[in-house]
Structure 1
Amino acid sequence: MELRDVTPDDLDQVLDLRKRAFGPIPAADMETWRQAVTPVLGEGRYLGVFDGSRLTAAARLRQFTQWWHGRPQPMAGVAGVTVSPEDRGRGLGTRLMRAVIERGVELGDAVSALYPATTPIYRSLGYEHAGGLRKVTLPAEALRGLRPSGQVKLRRMGPSDAAELIAVLHKVYGAARSSGPVSYDERTWGLWLGDDDDFRYIADDGLVIYGWHGQDIQIDTLVAGSPETARALWSMVGTSSSVAKNVIAPLAPDDPVLWLLPERSADHATEQRWMFRVLDVAAAVERRGYPAAVTCEAVVTVQDPVRGEGTWRLDISGGSGTATPAAGAPGAVLTANGLSALYSGVPTGTLRVAGLMSGDERFDEALDAAFAAKPYMLDYF
């Protein structure tokens, strides 16, 4: 078996593998997929395992920006992990994912995330549950009543607005100190903004992308950085209430719309979990944001089945952090899964009971304060 980069000549085999793994793919979706994938094949972001010329397994490392406590960093979004049915159970998935982790580091990504079809393989390689894509069903008529008190200028978006859309996301997620949400690159946003079935509007500090989903309205993305913009975007979506009874929206756990609604006795929500992994300890700690009021230090030993063991001194101050090698220093011991969960805001008490953390407890409270987060995503990939 040979592990190598996927080339344009391999794409028909990749699509065949995806159909066998995930079911039939509409022709329009296949064409959009080809448009998205082909330009990045030369960047080393699609790996395959081949038996001669036959593709047996494949995985894609999507290029994302992800925010952690309001600070953006590059993230490897692992997608399309497939093994041909006749080759399952032979360890190809594990071999492929080990290569994906190493490739992510080579590409400069310090963190990675994925939506698992099954969790054991990913857990065995250091990925851990971190956050969710939470979709909440809201009454359209109630949204219609959220009128802004002033005039908010909204305009329609198209493919040429990709750069401005990304700038708005940076502004909103940074100001909100968000953890977990992602953004596509400008070229990919340009593709998505060309979808004729979506309705897209942007303001100076917010945007919405939505469309019809049967008799309901389905929101893809809605973010707002001010009360007026939030009310303007939600009330505009709510104007469909003469036809649509419900609006289905991906929301952060503390999205302001949940406090703007006049009636909220129960949330009708579904959640799809995503997993997260630290690939490069030093770079991941340096690129993350932290509460500005927290100043602390800690020593942790990380036991990583792919990247190897290392002991690190963490110094957090003024909203920034560093990790420097500290071989031999006593401290807490974290599995790769434990570090990934801690980075995502899972409390040390939970990690210890789950067996993901052991050793010295004197740094636990400081680590909880530094890495506190409520991670979420608005996008499935």
Structure 2
Amino acid sequence: MRSYRQGDDAELYQLGRLAFGGPREPEPDMLWSAQPGWTGLVAERDGAIVGSVKVREYRQFFGGAAVPMGGLANVAVHPHARGGGVATAMLDAVLPHMRERGQVISALFPSVPPLYRTRGWEQTGDYERATLRSEALALLGKPAKRPVMRRATRDDLPALADAYRSVASTVDGMLDRATAAFQPEKVLDLDIVDIVPGVDGSVLGYVSADRPDGERLLCHDLVARDRDTALGLLASLGSWSGLLDEVSLRIVDPAWWQLLVTLPVLHDVRNHPWMLRVVDLPAAVAARGWPAATALRPSSVDIEVVDEHAPWHSGRHRLVVEDGTVTCEPGGTGAVRLQARALGPWFAGSADTAMLRRAGLLDADPADARLLDLLTGAPHPCRMADSF
């Protein structure tokens, strides 16, 4: 295992093309060196690259706080080297690599879930797209006053990002889109980037979309700070009725999807689940937001983490709640035993301790584990609106 070097670009592109598909000759922006905000490791055998893993620099919202996260991507092994332990060696190497860089959690979109489960990642959240007939959106309720909309310009990008984060920070699992891995100006390349302007240069909401063919509209973001703005943006999508058949909506905000859209009895939702792993438990606890802690009396829970691939946090800890904060200290009785795979769903709040117990990932008396559920408000859905 070694770090990426710029001279690896050609080999890594061909390795990725074999694994995931793509043209034989890459466009310039397809090369690793052309992409910002990441680090990478490669596996070599006899002087040739046989595996790769890229770690994108992200921050992911949990409890309203943006937690440093390593997003694993481009995990690939050359066909002739598969089955020889290359992939697990790369995952073993990338865990301390992320920890050294302060990436206290890690997420990925798995093509081979069993592989990642052996190293502590577990299914935690969803990346969903819904397909609706355009006329269904045209029939939605209308806002009291239809908002004025206009095409976004470069000057609007900071306010547009602020509107996104005002919503994303309230949805566990969303990325803050504020790290070097993102290029905010790229949104202006889309066919549609329409905003609802607010006062003093703010943005009340926006919709971004592409029309890739004559049959559908591919909507990337629909973000709104309030009901009337959301209804106005949905009405703008409904205005395509008669011009195209379908609207594909990336589900960014559960508020408009669950509470404003009138769904037909039958509709299609495609989901690409993502997995989460806690890389460094004490640091992750310190970085996360804990809104429920402000309503809890001083208390603690003793846990024991079983994690052979991250020995730096394996062992006994005490989670302490005091004055609205949560800390993870060494020691305690280990009354609640957690496997490495349990940490991600617990940290995110996507699974409660009863679920983890039934899955064989937690061993404890229910009363001893109760505080873990109170802290995260588990179980609740976790959502991401970016794939990588």
Output the TM-score relative to the length of structure 2. Answer: 0.87
**SS of residue in 2 equivalent to 1:355:** coil
1:34 and 1:142, CA in 2 relative to 1: closer, same or farther beyond 3 A? same
Instruction: Report the Cα distance in structure 2 between the residues aligned to 1:67 and 1:109, rounded to whole angstroms.
Output: 13
Q: Does structure 1 residue 200 correspond to structure 2 residue 175?
A: no
Of 354, 359, 371, the residue aligned with 1:354 is 359
| Aligned pairs for 1:1-381 within 5 A | 3-25=1-23, 30-34=27-31, 37-40=34-37, 45-144=39-138, 145-150=140-145, 152-157=147-152, 161-174=156-169, 177-185=170-178, 188-190=182-184, 192-195=186-189, 197-203=190-196, 204-214=203-213, 215-251=215-251, 254-262=254-262, 264-292=264-292, 294-295=295-296, 296-308=299-311, 309-316=314-321, 320-326=325-331, 328-345=332-349, 346-371=351-376, 372=378, 373-381=380-388
C-alpha root-mean-square deviation of aligned residues, in Å?
2.4
TM superposition shift of 1:319: 5.9
* Letter in structure 2 aligned against 1:270: R
C-alpha deviations, 1:211-269, integer Å up to 9, x for none? 12431111112222211221122211221122122211122583323322345434421
Contact between 1:72 and 1:288, CA under 8 Å: does it hold in 2?
yes
Please identify, of 94-103 and 135-144, the stretch whose mean Cα deviation from structure 2 is larger.
135-144
1:300 and 1:96, CA in 2 relative to 1: closer, same or farther beyond 3 A? same
1:14 and 1:161, CA in 2 relative to 1: closer, same or farther beyond 3 A? farther
* Letter in structure 1 aligned against 2:316: T
Q: Which runs of 5+ in 2 are unaligned?
A: 197-202
* Letter in structure 2 aligned against 1:205: L
Please identify, of 223-232 and 293-302, the stretch whose mean Cα deviation from structure 2 is larger.
293-302
**SS of residue in 2 equivalent to 1:301:** strand
Contact between 1:122 and 1:128, CA under 8 Å: does it hold in 2?
yes
Percent identity between the two aligned chains: 27
1:26 and 1:291, CA in 2 relative to 1: closer, same or farther beyond 3 A? farther
C-alpha deviations, 1:180-239, integer Å up to 9, x for none? 1124346523353253x4321234232322112431111112222211221122211221
Contact between 1:220 and 1:379, CA under 8 Å: does it hold in 2?
no
TM superposition shift of 1:26: 7.8
Number of aligned positions between the proteins: 371
C-alpha deviations, 1:34-87, integer Å up to 9, x for none? 37745556xxx1111122542110011011121112221221110010011111
Contact between 1:21 and 1:82, CA under 8 Å: does it hold in 2?
yes
Instruction: Report the Cα distance in structure 2 between the residues aligned to 1:12 and 1:155, rounded to whole angstroms.
Output: 42
1:263 and 1:55, CA in 2 relative to 1: closer, same or farther beyond 3 A? closer
1:16 and 1:151, CA in 2 relative to 1: closer, same or farther beyond 3 A? same
Instruction: Report the Cα distance in structure 1 between the residues aligned to 2:131 and 2:323, rounded to whole angstroms.
Output: 39
* Letter in structure 2 aligned against 1:33: M
Instruction: Report the Cα distance in structure 2 between the residues aligned to 1:102 and 1:343, rounded to whole angstroms.
Output: 20
Contact between 1:332 and 1:361, CA under 8 Å: does it hold in 2?
no
TM superposition shift of 1:133: 0.9
